[in-house]
Structure 1
Amino acid sequence: MRSLPPSVRAKAIEIANSLQGQHESDQKQVISTSIQEARSWSRRRFMESADTQFS
């Protein structure tokens, strides 16, 4: 996770904590899923801001 930008890392940690709260037991899967979801969140956020700027 160290290679992620700070905002994406923070979101990945938030997602990982949520998954662990749902009793997901496979730590590697939790980390992988949280990074994928955080990257998707970041892309959506970027696209939304780009749409707003060019509207």
Structure 2
Amino acid sequence: MASTHRAYAADWKHFTAWCRRQTFLPPHSQVVGLYITACASGTAEQGGKLNSVSTILG
């Protein structure tokens, strides 16, 4: 359970950092969709890697 909480905290940190770079705070549902698309395309972070669907929806 502790590892799940750490993973959620890391995911939230990544998401909020992306939102700040995109000036999307506070986010709404369309922004969440944009974030998922960015993760899948590798543009969610500089020099980003592509994320698989199972990683994104994990």
Given the two structures, how large is their TM-score scaled by the length of structure 1?
0.37
For the pair shown, which has the larger CA radius of gyration, 1 or 2?
1
From the two aligned structures, give the one with the greater helix fraction: 1
